[in-house]
Chain A
Amino acid sequence: MTGETKENLENKYYDWPLFKRILGYLRPYRFLVVISLLLLLAVSMLGLAGPYLTKVAIDDYIRIGRYEGLNRIALIYIAVLVGAFVFQFLQYTTMQYIGQKVMFDLRTQVFAHLHKMSFRYFDRNPIGKMMTRTVNDVEVLNEMLTSGLILVFSDLFTLIGIFLMLAWLDWRLMLMVCAVFPFLYLATQAYRVRARDALRKNRAHITTLNSTLEENLSGMTTVQLFNQESTQYRKFWEINRDKLKEDLRSLHYNSIYLPSIDIFSAIGIGLVIWYGGGRLVQGEVLLGVLVAFLMYLQKFFEPIRDMAEKFNIIQTAMASSERIFELLDTPEELPNPKHPQSVSRIAGNIEFENVWFSYNKEDYVLKDVSFSLKEGESLAIVGATGSGKSTIINTLLRFYDIQKGRISIDGVSLKEMNKQDLRRHMALVQQDVFLFSRNIIDNIRLGNASLGLEEVESVAQSVNSHHFINNLPFKYEQELIERGSSLSMGQRQLLSFARALAFDPRILILDEATSNVDTETERQIQDAIHELMKGRTSIIIAHRLSTLKTVDKVLVLKHGEVQEFGTRQELLRNKGVYYDLLKLQMELSD
């Protein structure tokens, strides 16, 4: 935990390239961005018109006592107000639209990238982390684009506008005011450096705080069973205290810096009064100019204050974007070949030739595994826990790439095909069935919308699922919740069979469930498996003796190596493990 904090604290300040990359997402909308900036410019300028009009009113009309001119000024003022209203509305909606579009692009990009990631990536990264990237971090970035960045621009425009206005009204008075700037600059620098440090540390503490909280929430029962409440509380309390310290530190900097701007502003006003007042007396400046000057000066320091407030948003957004880009920069581990072999139709001959595979460098889980299956044949894989049964499935579906050897289908190596084309011909039935929080029909056909209710029903019928589905209150329209807990284990199994059959694969891969179900369900499941295997090349990880008698070939794995492989007859003659198992079956059924 402390390691994590440290790592975050040692982050380098590589903000500029990051910033450029974020701006890159604005490129497709550069036309709209330009419009939005122009609108912003217009809004800022119109916002500055008020004091100027007041000046004109004072100098040209009120002081001289001309009524008619005042009416004209009033009309111009109305036009300015309405114009500002319209431009502001257009500017806001345009910017929001751009922000939404960028967020859309970024989020779909992250989502698509996640789908390109290999299973090694998913093994390593917790779901919560990936979710935060796709949802929250993107949202934060949007906030920066639409409110932070734009406000900075608008503040900048206002600042420049006021500056020019002041210079135009009276450049000598303006230069006088400029005397304040070096000090303002120094103060800002001093603030920025310290505030950034405090904010970064604060954020690192918040990360630790949140992960501690999350850990405690997920493991509360464990905490309680081990009477660890006080220990954990103390830990949490300490992190919270550290966080507060940094929080108050950044507040302290803010509390000094922001009021200091007021003092700079006051010095400026004081200078205007002293110097400008003197020149007015000498008749070198008009009263209206002085009034306008004072009004502008008050407006001048607002944007500076504003930018200091936005600093936090921008810093947070930078951190978020850093994390998003880190994910986007993770390379695809199993890229499709550039010129893939076409696999529109396959027969279903499978061959493993001296396959070696490991999840961790030298720890081979499959060692020199070879076997072959002809079209339509079925294979049962048996072996102890950890012998590599599921790994064979994982490599056949190309969830992982093997290190040595060759896996081929109809003579074509897996690496020469598109992963997706390959998988289209296979159906995987897992031991623990994953159900989506959609209705039954969509859980069976998934994205294959070409299957209508009738087709899905007939599929369900052939794997014994129709009966229980039909007994649900909403039948095929019944919505399931994610863990599908409204269905029994047996029903979930049957449903996953229907899913496999709906895709009419050439190759069936089935990990038999080990859980205990009642006799009737057991019979239905066995029936359904039979139906599924018909006419397909099938690989079954077997957990039931009865399954062994229904397949053509058997593969016995031991510690990742092939112990026995062959047809049932061959293995019977061998008198090896398979023979022993069958003997056992005879004894038990006696």
Chain B
Amino acid sequence: MKPLSACRAIPTLVLALAVAGAAQAQRSSSEVSEASLVPVAISVALPVVLVAGVGSIVVTGVQASAEGTVWVVENLADGVKGSICFAGHVVGGVSVAVGTVITVTAVATGMVLSAAGHVIAFVPNEIGRSLSYNQRVSR
């Protein structure tokens, strides 16, 4: 399994993840449900194996720690393996376990990862990152 430290290869993306993590903490602490808090994970980094952008991958391993979560995945088309990295705990209502098949949909703002028709993660590109932010200003 790819070590979690490999997920820190692209530091510019950590900020976006910190935002997602803060949003989740806010939801659990205050039960704020402004639906605007995207109930999906935002990936820190995506392996080259997924860059083609469309198709399906299967989860072959899940590693969680205080630093974050890594899904080890395999491309169903060609068997190439890689890891998808998240800072903090992966959020969302769909649990991802070994054997979960994830559909990858490329959009102009990044990639949408879904399982059983529900979005489980969003992997933003530059444009996607410029569109995503969440901060509660008032108490």
A interacts with B: no
Interface, chain A (partner B; CB < 8 A): none
Interface, chain B (partner A; CB < 8 A): none
